[in-house]
Amino acid sequence: MNELGRLEDLPADYREALSRQNLVPLWPSLRAVLPPGKPQPRTRATHWPYEALRPLLLQAGELTPIEKAERRVLVLANPGHGLEKMQASAAMYLGMQLLLPGEWAPSHRHTPNAVRMVVEGEGAWTTVDGEKCTMQRGDLILTPTGLWHEHGHDGTEPVVWLDVLDLPLVYYMEASYHVDGQRQTQHPGRGDRAYARGGVVPMPVFERSRKAYPMLRYPWADARAALESLAADQPALDAVQVRYVNPETGADAQNILGYSALMLRPGQTLALPARSPAAVFHLIEGAASVQVEDQRFRLAAADTCCAPGYTAVTLANASADRPAFLFIADETPLHQKLGVFETRA
């Protein structure tokens, strides 16, 4: 590979003449924007232990009333991007949100897509497009692009959930904005009820809603049961994993980020091939380690970590007699739609 000319090799007056015309020579930057063989991701393997985060989030509850925060969130920022960028990866944003008993986070809608993965506490709910979604540990709740959503809490203990948004991408596209709204009126007709069991549907008439997002709440009890029965049905299957999809089409639940749940059998080690999208791992239950190249994170329940793309990841269950359950968010739908998705052996 040729050494290319540097900026300093050019006469100063020529560089200034270029700048005055808003022109830039490509060759000094060509290798940086098209590095050899594989990208040089800014995204760094990063671990956010819940034990360290939780007291700081509860402290935010004392320091900042909900009215002064609208959304009381500590952002899980990747130092490789610079903390102020509030990015976990190129396309993913992560935040831990706290809602205290009796609090209400007012209705709004925005262009980025979000999901909530409930981490702890009982009694909170998110109303999405008029549908009240109750929140229990491990539930996944979609608040897709453009849909009104508000959060409330009728319980007695703090509720915490993990927000995953495609905000960095939508912001980069200069397409990120929000609109404030009125408190929503709730209507019956919950997608999670209609689609509670594959193969049996509500009577007398059941037709596809043809909504872009027919199901907004994916209860953990159902995803967990699906993993358990998959593991029992296929003892030789390595990756016991289910994808969160639109139940009417089978396509990814959202357009940009992909969501799945994975069960590690007792004592299991699972090597994932290097794939182009970055990924986030959140441990719902059990104990596991996540190895990203030479870094190894030991995840306790409610811990979150991320891995850059083009990097092999090895997951291991730290328990020899109990399964471990992980929630995974990644950039796969985005890479697939753009045609840049790759797997490397």
Residues contributing to the site for ligand GTQ (CB under 6 A): 71, 73, 95, 97, 110, 114, 149, 163, 165
Tell me which residue has tokens 């979609």. 142
Question: Among residues 73 and 160, whose Cβ is nearest to ligand GTQ?
Answer: 73
What DSSP state is assigned to residue 189? Answer: -
Q: Give, in degrees to the nearest 5, the angle at Cα 115 between 112 and 116.
A: 135
Separation of alpha carbons 183 and 284, rounded Å: 31
Query: Nearer Cβ to ligand GTQ, position 148 or 220?
Result: 148
Q: Strands 324-330 and 258-264: what pairing? A: antiparallel
Q: How far is the CB of 201 from ligand GTQ (least distance, A)?
A: 31
Quick one: which H or E segment has residue 288?
A: strand 288-292
Q: How far is the CB of 283 from ligand GTQ (least distance, A)?
A: 20
Of the two residues 87 and 311, which places its CB atom closer to ligand GTQ in the complex?
A: 87
State the nearest-atom distance from the C-beta of 97 to ligand GTQ, in Å: 6
Q: Which two tokens stand for residue 319?
A: 């328990």
Quote the Cα angle for 34-167-246, to 5°: 100
Minimal distance in Å, beta carbon 75 to ligand GTQ?
A: 7
Phi, psi of 242 (to 5 degrees): -125, 145
- Tell the smallest beta-carbon distance from residue 104 to ligand GTQ (Å): 12
Q: Using H for helix, E for strand and C for coil, what is the string for 27-95?
A: CCCHHHHCCCCCCCCCCCCEEECHHHHHHHHHHHHHHCCHHHHCCCEEECCCHHHCHHHCCCCCCCEEE
- The residue among 161 and 195 lying less far from ligand GTQ, judged by its C-beta, is 161
State the minimum distance, in angstroms, from the CB of residue 320 to ligand GTQ. Answer: 37
Nearer to ligand GTQ, 71 or 322 (CB): 71
Task: Check: CB of residue 342 under 8 Å from CB of residue 261.
Answer: no
Residue 15 vs 71, nearer CB to ligand GTQ: 71
Residue among 142, 79, 143, 77 at smallest CA distance from 110 = 143
In the complex, minimum distance from the CB of residue 290 to ligand GTQ, in angstroms, rounded to a whole number: 23
Which one, 137 or 149, has the nearer CB to ligand GTQ? 149
Nearest to 161 by CA among 152, 148, 172: 152
